[in-house]
Structure 1
Amino acid sequence: MIKNFNEFEKYLKEKNPFKGKYFAWNGKRYFDAFQFITFMPIHLIICVDYGIDTEKYENKFKILSIEKERKKRREWHHISEETFQGKFGEKVKKFILGLGKKVYLLTYHSSKDIEKFISENPDKIKLLGPKIEMKDYLDCKTTLPQDLARIGVIPNLEEITDIQELDFISSKEKYGIPFVLQWGIGDSGSGTFFVKTEEEFNRLKNEIPPQEVKIAKYIKGYSIAICAVVYRDSVVLSQPNIQVCGQPECVSKSTTYCATDFTASSEFTDKRMSHIYDYTLKIGEWMKAKGYRGLFGIDFITTDEDLDNIYVCEVNARFTGEGRFYSFYQKREGYVPLQFFHLAEYLNIDIPRDEIETYNNSLKPLKGSCITLHNILPSDIKVGENLGPGIYKIKDGKLKYLRDGISLLDLKDEDEFVIGCAVPPRGEIIEPGASILRIQTYKSVFETKTKRFYSWVRDLIHIVRKKLDLTPV
């Protein structure tokens, strides 16, 4: 059944476990829904972003987009609260209620608004994922360290305290400069700060309402991420990747996520892989004991002194940013996409336990990377020229369009790359920090020794930005 992708496709044709169901995705980006289309249908996409490529897919999917109506791209966080609120939320609810069939909802994470709507209309919509209370409890960075220590997982050197009780001098003496401040809930680095100066520290104390925060030593290393699934009594593993943050060509904030590099994970030693999988299994078992079901992610950090020594930074009890690529990359290497196991848990699809053990033991490194470009200026910017989504390569220092395509499955060689994920049209206004587009490639993009993008990546980003003719507003 899950021995390889070919056997998996035979199973899908024979059993057709998704037949007769209407599936919807709710999240920040329309492209996130595509993580499922390698093995199942998606009928409705509820999202924020809207670009040239989004419009192209409206004849294949029903797409409800906030940005299509607002004509401006924001830096979005915790999007589930937005898509089921206000006028747009009423539009979404009206559409679902008017379908005349039950909607099976997959979402980046749930929200109180989603769960209220479901409780009022249980015959119209079903949530295929954990509830928001469970997600927030397991996501919380200020309670996680104690929980990890109890199950034998090593967190970074840290303490949990009310931010108003901290002072800069003692924090500097204990943790060095910079030190890390995190509040409980955040995503894509939105609740994480590397504090270097007393001025910055005081600004954060004034901006953050009284609450417990995590303060930790800054570790000179790089971030590793992995996704897994709690399926019944098992924890299904996947291949890890390097999670890239703070590259100045892509983002303006040092803690903001900007790239995923699976290709670079091929250099991981057996010892490091053993640590990653051991911690993932322990955390998955702990989450299962708390009642969690489905897909989750873990972020680790390595140290320059010993790259095989890893610490757990956070647990994401939800779908994750890098998770959107797993299904494409795994299908290409012949693996059953990790997302299927999440669906299997919530649709009660039987998978023999011995097959899961075989699957976990068969995992080899994946190949593929993705870069996210953001507005790095402190002001709004305007897109001056259209850049069509699709497959490109560089020729004579310029972008050369080759053909249509959305993922690595559409590439023919390593010199080609994909530009997509809601490419903004000419005239679009993009707020500071907001994402612009994504570039996917077979190649590794991150040099672990220097902790920088390779020079060819920096050159490519410059060429793409120049082609878009981005100017301050």
Structure 2
Amino acid sequence: MARLLESLGALKKAIASRGWFRDVRLVYQGFGPLGAWMFRELLPVSHIVAEYYGEEVQTYLEEEDGATVFSAEKESGVRHNDSTLFNRYYYPDRGEAIAASLNRLSGRVCFVPFATTPGLEEFLFRHGSRYHLLQNSTIVQNYFDYKARLAWSAKEIGIPIPPDSLVTLFGALDYPRLADAFESGFVIQVPLSQAGGGTHFAFSPDDFGRIVEENRAALGPLFDKTQVKVTPFLPGPSLNCTGCVVNGAVALSPPDIQIVGDPHFVETPGQYIGSDFARNDFEPEHRRRILEITARIGAWMGARGYRGNFGVDFLSTVDGNNRVKDIFVSEVNARLVGESQYMADWQAMAGSVPLTFFHLAEWMNLDEITPAEIAAYNASLPPIEGSALLLYTREKGTFRAAGGISSGIYRFDGDRLVRLRDGFLLSQTRSADEFVITNGIPWDGLVLGHPRYGDYNVFLCYLLTRESIVQPGNWRLVNDRWRRRADLVYAALGLVPCPPRLLPGEKA
């Protein structure tokens, strides 16, 4: 049985011979449809419910793979920054059509959402027991996502959090006292958020005033009594590790470097813009420590009812040579995480079992996956060859992409972007000179940004490469090579302004 997890090939043979997923009809829900590919090495994906769309979704998921895709963006022709609209209204609006399509399937219809939403839970409740949820409920997710909880429990778990961290109320924040306590600046985190949306950096009275004003407007009468976590600003890079609670153990991924808030790409300091697995330059002690902490957190979560994949974000300090010195836990993401979407492909490139398999194993009660086998898997994690860089619009407005860029395998000839062939995965490249433009590339007719008000930092696409993308001397920033390449791709997208217009049903 130890050979079961030795390689992806061995696992695929076991899946086929034992029929683990034979009658499963998988439904993936997430922001981007291509996230479904994290399970595609293991079983077909029947249906996808997503916010975004893209030319590559039609080409590779719908036409080639035969998946049925329900997409809010496809139907509205608009991509904007407010995902709460999709989470809240898509199932009430489109649930009957989704159910009608699913009811034509035989077998067990199993939903694996990136993160469970109240809309999905209501849909599942109203459509009976034939649909199965292979993910934690929103109540369980929110329990662990709550930013203050990890700070409260850090001593119990035995994990380091940033020194002098405090949990208080928004209404009790006092800038002079915080500025005295945190001379290099501080970070305020609201209880529940994703992709850096609830993380605010304060380096001046003006920063603090803006944070208070924005959150007072958003929270209204709840502002004064909303709990927040305040930590010192730490100058080191953001790090990450993904884990999976499975059968009484915790499976782990290799750690990676997260790029957050690089001002060359985004205006928001906490905005996630990419991950670098290719650097593979952690000190052995730091790598061991990250894996150990992730396992501790996973065991703590599992003992309190959590199941499946989760992510841990880390903060760090640096020494005089700008190398990572001390590592601290920032937060837990109780769901599938951004890295999951492409890490499965990169693990498959190395012949390794994707971590997403363990999520399925836990929720489908595959008892053959034992703690001893998981320990052996964790002890032999191979290095991963891959980095991802996300591109966003760089000014507020409403745009369309007129450049005619499509998903595919590309390379650069000097400053000239050369499309080599079709493709949408890093595993489809043949050398480090090739890279991929993929995942949500604006399609003909798509409006980027709220048609009436416009938006900042609207997501455009992913660039996937086998190379490291961080600066060797400063892992917080993208290196000059990939800044230049990102700029060239951004220019090739050919963004042009769109005139303001109303959304369907909206009044002037």
Question: What does residue 41 of structure 2 align with?
Answer: 38
Question: What does residue 334 of structure 2 align with?
Answer: 317
Of 134, 153, 157, which residue of structure 2 is paired with 1:128?
134
Bigger Cα displacement from structure 2, 248-257 vs 96-105: 96-105
Question: What does residue 161 of structure 2 align with?
Answer: 155
Question: What does residue 408 of structure 2 align with?
Answer: 390
Q: Give CA deviations for 1:122-142 in whole Å, capped at 9, x if unaligned.
A: 333110011110100001102
1:61 corresponds to 2:76:
no
Bigger Cα displacement from structure 2, 293-302 vs 174-183: 174-183
Of 198, 220, 226, which residue of structure 2 is paired with 1:191?
198
Secondary structure of the residue that 1:263 maps to in structure 2?
Answer: coil
1:459 corresponds to 2:484:
yes
TM-score (norm 2): 0.89
Bigger Cα displacement from structure 2, 192-201 vs 57-66: 192-201
Q: In the alignment, is the contact (CA less than 8 A) between 1:96 and 1:124 conserved in 2?
A: no
Rate the CA distance shift 1:203–1:453 in 2: closer, same or farther, 3 A: closer
TM-score (norm 1): 0.96
In 1: Cα distance, 2:237 partner to 2:54 partner: 32
How far did 1:8 drift? 1.2
Bigger Cα displacement from structure 2, 195-204 vs 158-167: 195-204
Q: How does 1:21-170 map to 2 (within 5 A)?
A: 21-56=24-59, 57-59=61-63, 60-77=66-83, 81-82=87-88, 84-97=90-103, 99=105, 102-157=108-163, 158-170=165-177
Secondary structure of the residue that 2:21 maps to in structure 1?
Answer: coil
Bigger Cα displacement from structure 2, 207-216 vs 445-454: 445-454
How far did 1:365 drift? 2.1
How far did 1:472 drift? 3.6
In 2: Cα distance, 1:396 partner to 1:181 partner: 43
In 2: Cα distance, 1:176 partner to 1:90 partner: 55
Question: What does residue 473 of structure 2 align with?
Answer: 449
Q: Which residue identity lines up with residue 217 of structure 1 in the other structure?
A: P
Q: Which residue identity lines up with residue 458 of structure 1 in the other structure?
A: R
In 1: Cα distance, 2:83 partner to 2:51 partner: 10
Bigger Cα displacement from structure 2, 275-284 vs 172-181: 172-181
Q: Give CA deviations for 1:236-289 in whole Å, capped at 9, x if unaligned.
A: 11111111111234322111000110011x111110011101101110110011
Rate the CA distance shift 1:83–1:343 in 2: closer, same or farther, 3 A: farther
Of 469, 472, 495, which residue of structure 2 is paired with 1:470?
495
Q: In the alignment, is the contact (CA less than 8 A) between 1:27 and 1:79 conserved in 2?
A: no
Question: What does residue 274 of structure 1 align with?
Answer: 288
Bigger Cα displacement from structure 2, 97-106 vs 204-213: 97-106
In 2: Cα distance, 1:360 partner to 1:10 partner: 21
Q: Which runs of 5+ in 2 are unaligned?
A: 450-455, 499-508
Of 374, 382, 386, which residue of structure 1 is paired with 2:392?
374
Question: What does residue 313 of structure 2 align with?
Answer: 299
Q: In the alignment, is the contact (CA less than 8 A) between 2:237 and 2:324 conserved in 1?
A: no
Rate the CA distance shift 1:222–1:77 in 2: closer, same or farther, 3 A: farther
Secondary structure of the residue that 1:190 maps to in structure 2?
Answer: coil
Rate the CA distance shift 1:121–1:85 in 2: closer, same or farther, 3 A: closer
Rate the CA distance shift 1:442–1:89 in 2: closer, same or farther, 3 A: same
How far did 1:409 drift? 1.0
Q: Which residue identity lines up with residue 344 of structure 1 in the other structure?
A: A
In 2: Cα distance, 1:388 partner to 1:32 partner: 18
Of 330, 333, 338, which residue of structure 1 is paired with 2:347?
330
Q: Give CA deviations for 1:175-227 in whole Å, capped at 9, x if unaligned.
A: 12431011000000000011123233223223322111111100000011111
Question: What does residue 435 of structure 1 align with?
Answer: 459
Q: Give CA deviations for 1:130-189 in whole Å, capped at 9, x if unaligned.
A: 111010000110222011222111111311111111121111111124310110000000
Bigger Cα displacement from structure 2, 54-63 vs 115-124: 115-124
In 2: Cα distance, 1:169 partner to 1:246 partner: 25
Q: In the alignment, is the contact (CA less than 8 A) between 1:27 and 1:80 conserved in 2?
A: no
Q: How many residues align?
A: 472
Q: In the alignment, is the contact (CA less than 8 A) between 2:88 and 2:119 conserved in 1?
A: no
Of 178, 202, 212, which residue of structure 2 is paired with 1:205?
212
In 2: Cα distance, 1:352 partner to 1:135 partner: 25
In 2: Cα distance, 1:163 partner to 1:461 partner: 38
Secondary structure of the residue that 1:340 maps to in structure 2?
Answer: helix
Q: In the alignment, is the contact (CA less than 8 A) between 2:168 and 2:229 conserved in 1?
A: yes
How far did 1:99 drift? 4.5
Bigger Cα displacement from structure 2, 117-126 vs 277-286: 117-126
1:230 corresponds to 2:245:
yes
Q: Alignment identity in percent?
A: 28
In 2: Cα distance, 1:364 partner to 1:80 partner: 37
Question: What does residue 355 of structure 1 align with?
Answer: 373
Question: What does residue 501 of structure 2 align with?
Answer: none
Q: Which runs of 5+ in 1 are unaligned?
A: none
Q: Which residue identity lines up with residue 471 of structure 2 in the other structure?
A: E
Q: Give CA deviations for 1:4-43 in whole Å, capped at 9, x if unaligned.
A: 1221122122112111221100010011001111121110
Secondary structure of the residue that 1:286 maps to in structure 2?
Answer: helix
Secondary structure of the residue that 1:378 maps to in structure 2?
Answer: coil
Q: How does 1:235-274 map to 2 (within 5 A)?
A: 235-264=250-279, 266-274=280-288
In 2: Cα distance, 1:102 partner to 1:119 partner: 16
In 2: Cα distance, 1:388 partner to 1:119 partner: 39
